[in-house]
Amino acid sequence: MLDEDMNSNALFLKTRPLKLFFLASIPGAISMLASALYQTIDGVFIGQYLGKTAFAALNLAMPFVIINFSLADLIGVGSSVPISISLGKKENKEANNIFTCACIMVVVAGIFIGVALYAAAPLLIRLMGAEGAFAKLAVQYIRVYAICSPVTTITFAADNYLRICGYIRTSMFLNIFVSALSAGLEFLFLGVLRLGIWAAALATCSGMFAGVVLAFLPFFFKKTTLCFCRPRFHLRLLRQIVVCGSPNFLNNLAGRITSILINIILVRLGGETAVSVYGILMFADGVVHPILYGLCDSLQPAVGYNWGAGKFSRVRAIEKCCFAASGIFSAVVILVLQLFPETITKLFVTEAGPEVLQLSVGAIRLFSITYLTRWFSFATQSYMLAIGKSVPASLISVSTALIFPVILLAALWPLELLGIWLNFAATALLAAILAFIILWKLRKEWMRPDIEI
């Protein structure tokens, strides 16, 4: 029996859309926030215990850490969409095969990516312009994640599979546990034992590994809708996973390329201070983004399930809740960032002098404008992905993460640092316009009447 006292069929097809939103999205948002908090806590602890140089090194290394997870995320998200649609069509054997093959693919990908990242870390950091202790700390941080890659990269895929099976509260509590365990270990390693930046990465990886073990216990004991089976790999399955996972993968990859490019520019324009301020913005977004992700992507299994079952009116009703909640939450975020920029700065940079404070406060307030429009493209991309429309989802993803920011970097170059802080809001506006155009062109398809499967 599922922990929600109903199977996924009843949860996704029978529950009223508004109630389903609260059952899935609110725990999903809490779950995603908890899963991201250990990254934020990582930044706080490193900034508090190891100092400004270590915090800057963390921000220099973080894009590569996220790239380490990107291929696993491609497989995890890419398999979740066809799994949900297959279950909606009552093709349970196909869903189990996709699930089994995807888990094997994630582990294998983690091995290859981990080896490559470990070997390339010194060169990658050197190419970004970092030297001395700054570069050494960044390499140490990356290499711990690379070593742990085979057993940690499946974390986010496991979370998707639990939600597909209706284990929404279990997913939430598990992410809270992982976050608390990671924070506790990091405090022990940095605050008590006074270890280096490598120990901060080890603490997070240890928490993630514990979470992976616990997440897969229901699947091994066959207490879930999905279960492991003898894998049958075939070209159509691989293509399906890659196509459906491409929007998230491209977003992660393109976003990290943009972050690396921005970091290179920041090292030259403002050194460690500018990189630290950019890191503060990214950590602030690291709290906001998971909640938006939880509000929208936690409904992907329900949207995909109903789409596969031909219940298009329920899809529209669910998505209305998603768009409305994303817009309201973003308005709250803008207010918080506008009112408390100094508090947010000092959370990560304890001994922030007047120069750092002035730069950071101005950057945070400009950055907050991003959320006026960012929620719309985010919700649209999630919707497109849930119903298997990977091409428009990928277009929004790559445009938001790479194309628009790079164009704007060139256009706003004369403004130097100010141009970089303005880049985020301008990118979000362009992405929202693109998302509106895509929704308008596809309006006939998603306004279809219900059909019986």
Residue 233 three-state SS: coil
Question: Which of residues 450 and 404 earns the better pLDDT score?
Answer: 404
Start-end of H helices in 89-131: 92-127
Distances (CA, A) of 356 to 271, 273, 274, 348: 12, 7, 8, 12
The span from the CA of 120 to the CA of 203, in Å, is 23
Q: Per-residue pLDDT for 7 more than 70?
A: no
What is the C-alpha to C-alpha distance for residues 241 and 226, in angstroms, rounded to an integer? 17
Domain range summary for the chain, segments of one domain joined by +: 8-446
Write down the pLDDT at residue 9.
60
pLDDT, tens only, 159-184? 889 888 888 788 888 888 988 999 99
pLDDT tens string 252-264: 777 778 888 888 8
Do residues 263 and 138 lie in contact, with contact meaning Cβ atoms separated by under 8 Å?
Answer: no
E strand or H helix at 291? helix 235-297
Does residue 6 carry a pLDDT above 60?
Answer: no
Q: What is the pLDDT of residue 2?
A: 40
| pLDDT given at position 350 | 67
Tell me how far apart the alpha carbons of residues 243 and 289 are, in angstroms, rounded to a whole number.
23
Of the spans 34-48, 287-301, 375-389, which averages the highest pLDDT? 375-389
Would the pLDDT of 312 be above 90? no
Asked whether 410 and 429 are in contact (CB, 8 A), the reply is no
Could you give the C-alpha distances from 316 to 8, 26, 90, 287, 342, in angstroms and in order? 19, 19, 21, 28, 41
Comparing 22-36, 133-147, 202-216, 275-289, the range with the smallest average pLDDT is 22-36
Mean predicted confidence (pLDDT) in 194-208? 94
Q: Rounded to an integer, what is the distance from CA 385 to the centroid of its chain?
A: 14
Longest alpha-carbon distance in the chain: 65
State pLDDT tens for residues 63-72: 888 888 888 8
What is the per-residue pLDDT for 405? 93
Q: What CA–CA distance (Å, rounded) separates 54 from 190?
A: 12
Looking up tokens 């529950």, which residue turns up? 15
**Local structure of 387: helix, strand or coil:** coil
User: pLDDT at position 4, please?
Assistant: 44
Mean pLDDT of the chain: 86
Q: Is a pLDDT exceeding 70 seen at residue 91?
A: yes
Q: 129: phi > 0 → left, psi -120 to 50 → alpha, else beta; which?
A: left
Least confident among 143-157, 254-268, 343-357, 434-448: 343-357
CA 86/CA 77 separation, integer angstroms: 14
Confidence of residue 453 (pLDDT cuts 50, 70, 90): low
Cα dist. 125→196, 197, 256, 369, 414 in Å? 18, 16, 14, 31, 26
Cα–Cα distance list, 83 to 28, 90, 240, 301, 313 (Å): 19, 10, 10, 9, 21
Taking a C-beta distance cutoff of 8 angstroms, is the pair 289, 29 a contact? no
